[in-house]
A = this chain, B = another copy of it.
Amino acid sequence: MKENRTGRVTLPVEENCDDILIQLMELWGADAIRNSDGTRLPKTLADRAEKVYETYFPVRQDLEWAQAHPQSLQEMYLLSEPKAAKDEKLAIHLLDGIFDQQLKVDVEHDPKQWWEVIDRTSGETVPPECWDYTADGVIIKDCEKWHIYTVAFLVWQIWDPTQMFNHITNDWGKSVPHSLPYNPAKPEVRERMLAYFRQWLKDNPTPNVIRFTTFFYHFCLFFNDRKKEKFVDWFGYGQSVSPELLEAFAQEKGYRLHPEDLVDQGYYNNAFRVPTLRYLEYMDFVQRFVAKTAKEVVDVCHEHGREAMMFLGDNYIGTEPYGKHFASIGLDAVVGSVGSGCTMRMIADIPGVRYTEGRFLPYFFPTVFHEGGDPVGKVNQNWLQARRAMLRNPVDRIGYGGYPSLALKFPDFITRVGEICDEFRTMYDNIAKSRPYSLLPGKVAILNCWGDLRTWQTHMVAHAMIFKQTASYIGVLEALSGMAVDVAFLSFDDIRGGVPEGISVIINAGEEGTAFSGGKAWADPKVVVALREWVHGGGGFIGVGEPTALRREGHFFQLFDVLGVDKEISLTLNYTKYNPEAAPHFITDDLDTEAELGDCCDDVYAHGAQNLIVAYGCTRAAAHDFGKGRSVYLAGLPYSAQNTRLLLRALCWAAHSEDSLKHWFSINPATECSYYPATGRYAVVNNTMEPQTTTVFKGDASCFETELAPMELKWYKIEERT
């Protein structure tokens, strides 16, 4: 195995710890250092590092100017709490339940023009002449008694959400002023922003990589009146809205967005909502504006001879790394936090940049680095889950965050991270940016309303946070992130005219009425026709949870005929159920314990499909032949080694590729095999903290047995171990 002891690793700096940092740089082979919000870069270290990152906040770097120009701050629409009219007159206090240190009602833009009052009981908009804005809030006259009313109103953002979060969490108190995000949609702000940046670059010659955190608009995050998180949507465009952008939108598109288009009944167009055309157009508009404006910032950066790196988070809205306009920004790199295999791939797969970097866990913070804490356990857990995804496509660099002085108190941790850094560099070299072998002839495509815009980003609420309602769906993506298959993301638009070439299996996973299952998309004949035709002609289809779900024309699963199962929604209890018992099948051959398919969907029954797993009389997994094609139903797929194997087998079966598991395949589900044809190398990896024995099939279907130490990653070259 080739030794590879330096490079591709970024270290966080800490003030007055130069010796520690130098020691760590050597131990871990770090070639880059970076500061965080609040820490400065020590000169002695900067000289030793190839890359020196410094954080820059384009829209909140210049606090004084922001304080002096309150009309230049960013805005957003809020929806008031729904309130019933007990009388003919109803007063709605706008900021009830909202943290008033974060958001402030904008009365500078005429409420009658910019706000919207809706009678939620009738669904009708209340004409502006029927309400007034007063110090008491909005007063609605001539209400329909006992109807529910809401007001969508503009607010100024008077505290940057991330700084607010850190400020409150770390109890920074009055000494640290509140960051104010200004709005580059105003030309004077843009001008000021660029000028300030130019000056800053001149004043800060040390960093050769500017790490933007991020560009302009924060993902949707606002707090409640108890200073706690009220709403968070890592994908939400709500905080990009301003009268300036809306005016520009109306000018370009020839139609005006209503406040309701943006507050969306209070759902704020979160990623689970089936997007409206108007919201999609708004998103695209913001993306173009952000890309164009970010390019101006990046150009300045390049003019000054620095690299431009974007942090995928915080104010990243509109950059959309998988969107049409991202490459035009001209970034050199993207860095993001790695909490799972999915978030690893979300960063590593980004097209249009020269390199990517993953920030690994745990942060060197006292929450983990205290007496009795288990930083080694945490770093291993994080590494194991990310590593299998890296074997499909690694980031170009890794790094950690927090206070190195804290880490140094845990020598085992320092050693372990050193091993991880070496393992990463070896992996990176052995893969050499080549494409790993896929067990399937074509790609596995995830089908939902978002398509490739949300590559590796489905069912996410707030980055890697998992909810019981999403665990069974994210599990599918997490399993795929490190599986020996190529993955694509398709939107319904992508398939209306027919499923594109090169797809082996399409997966539709999600809950009824969400963007991930598809909701009303399933009422479009073009969608169901394209899929029926494609599967019948030989394609593979896997439905998870409530796939193709829409209550329409006698069925819940609109592809009931393809799946051979449907869900009982208490409208067909009158049909006597003869749900067959589970039969042995290729897909379930590996199951040695009872399958745990989560609790996202129950009450499914086979109508033609063969049941593979049945619980309490209901179908949990089923397989179905449809013409020359095949489909599989899974009730859910929380992430686990066993479920990853179950999904892999389901994919192989659906793609008529059962024999795939005789090549470049490791039998023990706790292990995986990854082969790189271009380099002739392959890896066998133990994804667990226990030792494992497995049999590995090579390309010629010959096999050998091997033992793997806990977490071991073994590299081989064809016919010889490297």
Flag A221-241 by CB within 8 Å of B: 1 or 0 each: 000000011111100100000
Closest to A83 in B: B561
Closest to A263 in B: B554
A421 at interface (Cβ–Cβ under 8 A)?
no
Min Cβ gap A232→B in Å is 6
Task: Determine whether the beta carbon of A573 is less than 8 Å from that of B231.
Answer: no
A121 at interface (Cβ–Cβ under 8 A)?
yes
Min Cβ gap A296→B in Å is 32
A575 at interface (Cβ–Cβ under 8 A)?
yes
Residues of B within 8 Å of A147, CB to CB, are 525, 529
A266 at interface (Cβ–Cβ under 8 A)?
yes
Residues of B within 8 Å of A570, CB to CB, are 272, 469-470, 510-511, 513-514
A196 at interface (Cβ–Cβ under 8 A)?
no
A148 at interface (Cβ–Cβ under 8 A)?
yes
Most chain B CB inside 10 Å of its own CB: which residue of A233, A568, A573: A573
Closest to A264 in B: B554
Option from B79, B220, B553, B569 in Cβ contact (under 8 Å) with A265: B553
With A569-B511, A576-B231 as given contacts, are A469 and B603 in contact (CB-CB < 8 Å)? Answer: yes
Copies in the complex: 2
Task: Determine whether the beta carbon of A574 is less than 8 Å from that of B232.
Answer: yes
Residues of B within 8 Å of A578, CB to CB, are 228
Task: Determine whether the beta carbon of A144 is less than 8 Å from that of B470.
Answer: no
Option from B79, B270, B529, B602 in Cβ contact (under 8 Å) with A121: B529
CA distance A367 to B468 in the complex (A): 45
Residues of B within 8 Å of A576, CB to CB, are 228-232
Task: Determine whether the beta carbon of B574 is less than 8 Å from that of A461.
Answer: yes
A267 at interface (Cβ–Cβ under 8 A)?
yes
CA distance A206 to B599 in the complex (A): 62
Task: Determine whether the beta carbon of A146 is less than 8 Å from that of B528.
Answer: yes
Most chain B CB inside 10 Å of its own CB: which residue of A79, A122, A145, A469: A469
Min Cβ gap A88→B in Å is 14
Task: Determine whether the beta carbon of B561 is less than 8 Å from that of A267.
Answer: no
Residues of B within 8 Å of A79, CB to CB, are 554
A571 at interface (Cβ–Cβ under 8 A)?
yes
Task: Determine whether the beta carbon of A121 is less than 8 Å from that of B574.
Answer: no
Min Cβ gap A446→B in Å is 17
A interface majority secondary structure: loop
CA distance A645 to B555 in the complex (A): 38
Residues of B within 8 Å of A513, CB to CB, are 551, 569-571
With A553-B123, A561-B84 as given contacts, are A532 and B573 in contact (CB-CB < 8 Å)? Answer: no
Residues 534-553 of A contacting B (Cβ, < 8 Å): 536, 551-553
CA distance A422 to B52 in the complex (A): 96
Task: Determine whether the beta carbon of A121 is less than 8 Å from that of B525.
Answer: yes
Task: Determine whether the beta carbon of A272 is less than 8 Å from that of B121.
Answer: no
Min Cβ gap A508→B in Å is 15
Option from B84, B120, B627 in Cβ contact (under 8 Å) with A554: B120
Closest to A122 in B: B525
| Number of chain A residues close to chain B: CB under 8 A | 69
A572 at interface (Cβ–Cβ under 8 A)?
yes
A275 at interface (Cβ–Cβ under 8 A)?
no
Closest to A603 in B: B469
Task: Determine whether the beta carbon of B469 is less than 8 Å from that of A273.
Answer: no
Closest to A267 in B: B571
Closest to A467 in B: B573
CA distance A555 to B83 in the complex (A): 13
Residues 198-250 of A contacting B (Cβ, < 8 Å): 220, 228-233, 236
Flag A310-351 by CB within 8 Å of B: 1 or 0 each: 000000000000000000000000000000000000000000
Option from B121, B270, B272, B525 in Cβ contact (under 8 Å) with A144: B525
A557 at interface (Cβ–Cβ under 8 A)?
no
A704 at interface (Cβ–Cβ under 8 A)?
no
Task: Determine whether the beta carbon of A573 is less than 8 Å from that of B267.
Answer: no
Residues of B within 8 Å of A220, CB to CB, are 574
CA distance A229 to B578 in the complex (A): 10
With A468-B616, A573-B467 as given contacts, are A554 and B461 in contact (CB-CB < 8 Å)? Answer: no
Interface residues of A (CB under 8 A from B): 79, 82, 84, 86, 120-123, 144-148, 150, 220, 228-233, 236, 265-268, 270, 272-273, 461-462, 467-470, 510-514, 525, 528-529, 532-533, 536, 551-555, 560-561, 568-576, 578, 599, 602-603, 616-617, 627
For this complex, 17 residue pairs linking A to B, each with C-beta atoms less than 8 Å apart, are A79-B554, A82-B554, A82-B560, A86-B536, A122-B525, A123-B553, A144-B529, A146-B533, A220-B574, A228-B578, A232-B574, A236-B574, A268-B574, A467-B573, A468-B616, A469-B570, A513-B551
Cβ-closest 4 pairs across A and B? A265-B554, A146-B529, A120-B553, A146-B532
Further pairs besides A82-B561, A121-B525: 12, Cβ < 8 Å: A120-B554, A123-B552, A146-B532, A229-B576, A265-B553, A270-B572, A467-B573, A468-B617, A469-B568, A470-B570, A470-B573, A511-B570
